[in-house]
């Protein structure tokens, strides 16, 4: 009888916990961010991403469906630093009262001068060090929204953060053995500034921080001259951009194709770069291999 009573009590506790367990409805602005949220939140989050696989967050055009997703969400995670220029209008249009969390909070922003204007580089996640910071901000936000699952979020979050910290150390070790003179490459647009600063790689590109920007004929001519002068021999295309211009520059300068990079968006979930970790590892390996 006592055993039966104990089993009933355990069953009631488990049923009570199941009833209290919450699934946080999350909207993430783009696929990289959505993947980080899924790793931190696990089974306690349901994630909708706005800019999907192989999409371009710079030129994204929201649909009524996106507005509805935000209206139904508990929290909206954005990268910030000017990446999602369309997000404020979308949130206002949705009428949502959801919590908005900028996950790049705490990042040391990279600033560049363009035509006398100071611009902020939004591509902070391309440093795995910053990726770990993103994950910590997400973990803390989920705990604040769903405090009853604090232990779950903390366990999953800390495990993932440690994995990204190891990834950061691995990337640094990967490049340190390569002579600095060889760590120079050409890419489609200026999306690897944080990567370059963290891992000692120099990136040149015909287009600025946003894929919406256009390179002038003079800019292209100067870039070709610089590539020849600095003996840059390799160029890379990006999965979310048109490679036409960078291929033209490579042809004029003699640079050879080194592969495809994933700076702003993931491949499909079952692809080789279907997660943030896999895409970062692919970028590091592809770049480093071309330099050797």
- Quote the pLDDT of residue 248: 78
- For residue 114, what are the β-bridge partners? 117
- Quote the pLDDT of residue 9: 46
Task: Choose the weakest-confidence range: 59-63, 174-178, 216-220.
Answer: 216-220
Q: What residue ranges do the domains of the chain occupy? A: 24-166, 178-290
- Quote the pLDDT of residue 5: 52
Q: Summarize pLDDT for 8-36 with one digit per residue, the tens.
A: 444 444 444 444 568 999 999 999 999 99
For the chain, helix (H) and strand (E) counts, in that order, are 10, 10
Q: What is the mean pLDDT of the chain?
A: 86
Task: Give the mean pLDDT of 255-271.
Answer: 83
* C-alpha dist (Å) from residue 48 to 9, 53, 187: 37, 12, 30
Tell me yes or no: is domain 24-166 CATH 3.40.50.1980. Answer: yes
- Quote the pLDDT of residue 16: 43
| Res 73 pLDDT > 90 | yes
Q: Are 49 and 69 in contact (CB under 8 A)?
A: no
Torsion (CA) 36, 47, 79, 184 in degrees, nearest 10? 50
| Res 225 pLDDT > 50 | yes
| Res 121 pLDDT > 80 | yes
Domain 178-290, CATH class in plain words: alpha beta
Q: How far apart are CA 275 and CA 33, in angstroms?
A: 10
Same fold, 24-166 and 178-290: yes
């Amino acid at each position: 009888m006592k055993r039966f009573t104990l089993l009933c009590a355990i069953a009631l506790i488990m049923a009570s916990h199941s009833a209290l367990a919450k699934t946080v409805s999350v909207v993430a602005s783009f696929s990289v961010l959505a993947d980080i949220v899924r790793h931190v939140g696990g089974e306690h989050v349901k994630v909708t991403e706005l800019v999907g696989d192989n999409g371009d967050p710079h030129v994204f055009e929201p649909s009524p469906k996106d507005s509805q997703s935000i209206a139904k969400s508990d929290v909206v995670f954005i990268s910030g630093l000017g990446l999602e220029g369309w997000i404020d209008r979308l949130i206002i249009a949705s009428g949502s009262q959801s919590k908005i969390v900028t996950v790049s909070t705490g990042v040391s922003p990279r600033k560049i001068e363009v035509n006398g204007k100071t611009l902020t580089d939004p591509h902070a996640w391309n440093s795995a060090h910053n990726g770990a910071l993103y994950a910590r901000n997400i973990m803390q936000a989920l705990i604040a929204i769903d405090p009853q699952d604090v232990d779950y979020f903390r366990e999953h979050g800390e495990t993932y953060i440690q994995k990204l910290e190891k990834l950061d150390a691995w990337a640094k070790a990967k490049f340190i053995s390569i002579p600095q003179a060889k760590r120079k490459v050409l890419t489609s647009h200026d999306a690897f500034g944080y990567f370059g600063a963290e891992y000692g790689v120099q990136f040149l590109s015909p287009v600025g921080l946003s894929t919406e920007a256009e390179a002038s004929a003079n800019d292209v001519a100067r870039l070709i001259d610089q590539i020849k002068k600095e003996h840059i021999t390799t160029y890379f295309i990006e999965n979310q951009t048109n490679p036409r211009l960078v291929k033209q520059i490579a042809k004029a300068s003699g640079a050879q194709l080194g592969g495809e990079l994933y700076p702003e968006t993931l491949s499909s979930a079952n692809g080789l770069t279907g997660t943030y970790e896999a895409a970062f590892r692919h970028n590091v390996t592809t770049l480093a291999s071309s330099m050797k």
